[in-house]
Every structure is written in C-alpha cells, then in structure tokens.
Amino acid sequence: MIIVLKDGTTKEQLILFKAALEEQYDVTVNTWHGVGSTVLGLIGDTTAVDEDWVGAQDIVDNVKRVQEPYKKANRKFHPDNTVIELPTGQKIGDGSLCIMAGPCSVENEKQINYVAQRVKASGATFLRGGAFKPRTSPYSFQGLKSEGLDLLKGARKETGLPIVTEIMSSAHIDMFEGVDIIQVGARNMQNFELLKQLGKIDKPILLKRGLANTIEEWIMSAEYIMAGGNDKVILCERGIRTYETATRNTLDLSAVPIVKKLSHLPVIVDPSHATGKSWLVEQMSLAAVAAGADGLMIEVHNDPKHALSDGAQSLTPDQFDVVAKKAFALKKAYDGIVNS
C-alpha cells in the first residue's frame, strides 16, 4: 500500500502517523522523501489495513493498493532512480554510463593486470573477472577461486579500478570482503538462501537475470536482497533462453525500459553472454545504450582464442577500445536527444 502525504505535513505528524500504522497493523512503514512530496510504503500484511481510515487522516493526500508483489524494489515506493555510490566515489544509476570490463575468468596475474590496464585506458569504470566459475561441465575450468580474488585485488591496486566478481555460495561471503561489487550470476538468480544472506551485507550486488526468468521473477529476486536490508542492487540483463539458436541467448533489450518503469534500481546490459559472439558485442552495446541502460558489462581477454572460458564472446583490448569509445559517444548524443 502506498500513502502519499499532503504538502506541509510536519515531522511530528509523520512520526505519529507512522507509529499509529505500525501499532494497529502488522506492517512496517518505509518513508521516501521527494521534492515537495512524501510517500509512505507499507510492507507486510496490508489486507487488514482500513483504507477509509487512512484516507480520512488530515495529512493524507491519497492512498492506493499496490498490485505488484515487490515493494522495496517498486518505483511506486521510491519514485526517484536509485543511485549506487561506492566508497571510492564511482556512481551507478546517476545518468552516467558505467562500463564493467574484463575477462570471463581470472587466469593469472599477468593476464588480469594487463587486461585491467587496457580496459581502464579505454574508459572502463570497473574491472570484472570470474574467480568462482559456474560451468555447465564439472570438467571445465572452475576458476582460480580465492587465488583469483587475490589477483583481482592486486589488479585493483595497480589500476584503481573497483572489482566485480561472482559469488556462488553463501559460505564464501567472508572471502568477498574486499570485493567492491558482488555478482550473482544467472544460474543463482533464484538461489534464495544466497540472496537472503546477501541482503544482510552492506555491499552493492549485481543481480543477473536468470536464464529463463521473467522480469517479475527477476525483480522479486532483487526484493529478496532488499528485504534483508541491502538496498544496493544493480540489475543486469544478460539474455534469456528462447527458441533462437543463432545466438547463445536472446538479448531482451525491452527489459531495460520495462524494468526501469517498474523499479527504481539501475539496469545494465551484458551483450557478451547475451550473444555469445564477439562480433555482435559492439552493436548490442550501442543498442543497450539507446535502450537507456545505466551501464554495460563486457568480456575482454588478452588472447580470446586461448581463453579458459567464453573466448568466443570476448573482445580483444583493441576491439574493446573501439566499443567503449562508441558507447560513450552514443551516450552523449543520446542524452542530448532524450533531454532536449
């Protein structure tokens, strides 16, 4: 349930009203303060809440029931875009274009440091790299695990780029202490126990869309993290499984404006996993910018032909340089058109 308060409601009136609601009903009240308006979002069992009583209060402008099952992630509860700010100053969702780039897997020190330097020089704002890899085959390279995390931290020290890497088990959360953004991969989007544990920490979570999940299921997974108290969720569209076989997945670009309409969370796009083909990454990156994405996640490898995972979809640093330049140029032009 959403309650919009009248302009001029005092702090004291707000405190009394919230206390009355929480005392009478089994709900918690979230408050969003905007310019000139205050919105209360009721979470919990709102079926018992007497709409007429609420609407009759002096300070209430209007009250409406929310149909969607997600509350904290719902734009109705939080009309402004969420901006995620890292302690190191980088922002996601503030209108800028963030680019997370790096290899699918961290392979060795030389590789990750070289790729980190190259993507930074091209304008990437984050370094990505997998240390724990969710592979379809148990016989494929599974990642360097904790050694991979250490190598990523070393590359961050060398370049200053914050790091993004995937977690596969809640048993590893302590190991991710020094990671800037924790990625939940497509295969774990509905690992609810993992999501609940990530809800208890104070670190941004990059939540990829599941292989065959609807937009609503995806936002509900974000809600799991937020329900635990962690509001720092970034959504990542990475393609879904369809009948099409020409690409690894089908990039659902309409998900970007749809999610941004339904939710206030930032949305980025991963054209690498979405297509599985390096030659498609440039066009799909530009299309994602035009769809209004807050950022891109792109796989970049020093030697894609010999990559231990996802070589076919990885760009060389030179190719990435071209894509990044075009993406930033398009973003500038796009902002000019959209804001005119």
Find out whether 168 and 188 touch, Cβ atoms under 8 Å: yes
End-to-end Cα separation, the chain, in angstroms: 35
Residue 237 contact among Mn ion, ligand PEP, none, beta carbon within 5 to 8 Å by kind: none
Kindly give the pairing relationship between strand 126-128 and strand 91-92. Answer: unpaired
Minimum distance from CB of 165 to ligand PEP (Å)?
A: 9
Stretch that binds ligand PEP, among 83-91, 169-177, 185-193, 332-340 (CB under 6 A): 185-193
Distance CA 73, CA 277 (A): 32
Residue 128 Cα to chain centre, angstroms:
14
Q: Which residues contact 243 (CB under 8 A, 6 or more apart)?
A: none
Residue (1 or 294) nearer to ligand PEP, CB? 294
Which residues from 264-293 bind ligand PEP, rule CB under 6 A? 270, 273
The residue from 78, 156, 238, 264 that contacts ligand PEP (CB under 6 A) is: 238
Residue 118 contact among ligand PEP, Mn ion, none, beta carbon within 5 to 8 Å by kind: none
Quick note: the x/- pattern for ligand PEP over 63-102, rule CB under 6 A, is ----------------------------------------
From residue 6, give the alpha-carbon distance in Å to each of 38, 51, 149, 264: 8, 16, 50, 23
Minimum distance from CB of 175 to ligand PEP (Å)?
A: 18
The residue from 21, 42, 100, 104 that contacts ligand PEP (CB under 6 A) is: 104
295 binds ligand PEP (CB under 6 A): no
Which residues from 117-136 bind ligand PEP, rule CB under 6 A? 130, 134
Which of 193, 203, 187 lies closest to 238 in space, CA to CA?
187
Indicate if the alpha-carbon torsion angle 333, 126, 210, 219 is positive or negative: negative
Distance CA 76, CA 262 (A): 8
Number of residues that bind ligand PEP (CB under 6 A): 10
Applying CB under 6 A, the residues found at the interface with ligand PEP are: 104, 130, 134, 185-187, 208, 238, 270, 273
